[in-house]
Amino acid sequence: MAHITLGLSGALGHDASAALFIDGELVAAVEEERLVRRKHAKGYMPRESARFCIRAAKIKPRDIDTVAVSCAPISIFSRARWHYARRHWYAPDRALDALFNGNRRYRRYVQEIRGLMEELRIPWHKVKFVPVQHQLAHASSAYHMSGFEDKTAILTIDMKGEYASMFLGYGEKGRITRVKEFYDPDSLAGMYGAITDYLGFDMLDGDAKVMGMATHGDPQKYDLSPLVHCDGKRFQLNTALIGTVGLRRFKYKNRGHFFSKQLIELLGPRRAGDLIQDPYVHYAASIQKMYEDFTVQLVTHYLSDIIQTNGRLVFAGTGALNIKLNQRLAELPWLKELYVPVSPGDSGTAIGAAAYALSQQKVPVIPRRNPYLGPRYTTERCLRACEQHREKPIIEILENPSRRAAQLLGEGKLVGWFQNRMEFGPRALGNRSILANPFFQGAVEEVNKKIKFREGWRSFSPSLLDSLAQDFLQTKHPADYMSMSFDVNQEWQERVPGLVYQDGTSRAQVVTRAGNPRYHRLLREFAKISGYGIVLNTSLNRPGEALVCSPEDALNLFFGSDLEYLIMQRVLVTKRPELDWER
């Protein structure tokens, strides 16, 4: 009889998701935001994502043996709650609540999960319910899915879960062991997030903009060391400046921020103007350097002995979304391979919670490095969506979609590329993508002008054939998920400047035939036309929207933007001439 485990995330109020394992194999996973069309799905439970996983696996809800969640109760005897109370002495309501009612959020979440299971017809009395500590779920999402069998170092950097903000440990023979944890408010991601907030960005999305800004600044121009104390062993935020709560928080228009009025007095007003003006661009550069330096110090102190046994480190948590940090870690002299899972952020904890529950039950977890875990739509379903759409698009059935896409790219056209199962995680990896010809003058400007509306100084990412990867990236290091940046060969920097950051690096996806046959075929066809199998790849969505999931979502984007060509499975979609379809 099959062993079926459902993993759920969303206890923190955002990035809800679901993942399903059958006999230790991950068979389906999807973020709630893709199905409800709300970026980060703030305030949503993983309702539609769990329904999808059950349907995709072709099982009945009562067949599920185990439900695992990425949130767990923390004992009053744990250091975590006492650390939180001590560090928040200036906000006694927070401190006392941590000591005397420290599992309030967990209890509320369990009640919500019970209600969700009843709605999904998963019998609570029958299943084994497994709460997994948030950082352990992050750690498991990296370690258990990596395929590394020898003793492997594990790092997580997160804003916070229940109380823990960072985990350093190792995995061996399927078991995870903790070496060191840090607790809220002492969080590397919290440090970065507070400055992200100060620089005028939303903390869930703005870190990528801060990282991009940083490449234009001078990290030595301003000293941000008063924000933090780190000696390589200990790490502590200065909560008089950042990571503040209660009355210490800077408030503007009834909204509290993650920094204090003292920070404003120290650094100046919160950024409201140009992204790359002085001093803000240099603050971004400084916080990025501090982030990298402190992470390297902590990894060196707590994990270097473990890493040197086989040269491997796995890394998850929201901090692992920082591709510059990941490059810095990958370049450590005693590190041979850094593995970052396809979704290192909170949505990935659905996979991690389920994988951890399986490991605790002695069920072997089958590693998976293929990110295509979401819904798939047939050509017939895409045709039906076109026929039912109010704009009545022109459609053509293609014999060879990859070849036609390559031909359009060769002509300098932008192509929406909608194929097979949707990617899990924050990056478009060739199944829900907008593609452009990087050799076509003005390709980046065209993408920005017609769909993305991004700042002109922000670069896009490439997808490239595995046969081209070593020449382009100057390394054999795996690059499956666009999870880290690499130094780009100088010749390539000059050929495709729109795919390279200011500092000469790029966040690339290397595409293999085994990983994505149809996308690999498109790149081969494009190589015949351009001479090289490399394209600009950005996500099939508009600013502020979740990645496109269904054919209807793709058509809504298509008609709500200036994109001219959309290929859904074998269907080429174009718009009717304006005078015709306006009638």
Instruction: Give residue-wise pLDDT tens across range 484-543.
Output: 999 999 999 999 999 999 899 999 999 999 999 999 999 999 999 999 999 999 999 999
What is the reported pLDDT for 457?
Answer: 59
Instruction: Enumerate helices (H) and strands (E) in the chain, giving the number of each.
Output: 20, 24
Are 179 and 168 within 8 A, CB to CB? yes
Buried b (16+ CB within 10 A) or exposed e, 459-498: bbbbbbbbebbeebbeeebbbbbbbbbbbbeeebbebbeb
CATH number at residue 409: 3.90.870.20
Measured distance CA(394)–CA(577) in Å, rounded: 10
What is the reported pLDDT for 120?
Answer: 97
The DSSP element (H or E) to which 310 belongs, if any, is: helix 280-310
Looking at residue 183, the DSSP 8-state letter turns out to be: E
Are 196 and 203 within 8 A, CB to CB? yes
Are 321 and 345 within 8 A, CB to CB? yes
What is the reported pLDDT for 441?
Answer: 80
Measured distance CA(139)–CA(314) in Å, rounded: 8
User: DSSP states of 412-427 as a string?
Assistant: T--EEEE-SSPBPSSS
What is the reported pLDDT for 205?
Answer: 86
Angle, CA 156 vertex, CA 153 and CA 162 arms, to 5°: 135
What are the Cα distances from residue 571, in Å, to 43, 384, 405, 518, 539? 36, 11, 11, 14, 19
Asked whether residue 216 is assigned to any structural domain, the reply reads: no
Asked whether residue 314 is assigned to any structural domain, the reply reads: no
Asked whether residue 37 is assigned to any structural domain, the reply reads: no
Asked whether residue 455 is assigned to any structural domain, the reply reads: yes
Asked whether residue 260 is assigned to any structural domain, the reply reads: no
Buried b (16+ CB within 10 A) or exposed e, 140-154: bbbbbbbebeeebbb
Regions of the chain where pLDDT drops below 70:
274-275, 455-458, 579-583
Are 225 and 287 within 8 A, CB to CB? no
Give the residue numbers spanning the domain of 529: 379-581
Asked whether residue 244 is assigned to any structural domain, the reply reads: no
What are the Cα distances from residue 572, in Å, to 174, 492, 537, 575? 46, 32, 19, 10
pTM of the model: 0.96
The dihedral built from the CA positions of residue 86, 131, 134 and 160, taken in this order, carries a sign that is negative
**Cα 385 to chain center, whole Å?**
29
- Write down the H helix ranges in 448-550: 466-473, 490-495, 517-530
Asked whether residue 518 is assigned to any structural domain, the reply reads: yes
Asked whether residue 514 is assigned to any structural domain, the reply reads: yes
Measured distance CA(497)–CA(556) in Å, rounded: 31
Number of compact structural domains in the chain: 1
* Residue closest to 486 by CA, chosen among 497, 500, 467: 500
What is the reported pLDDT for 452?
Answer: 82
* Residue closest to 160 by CA, chosen among 14, 284, 31: 14
Neighbours of 229 (CB within 10 A): 12
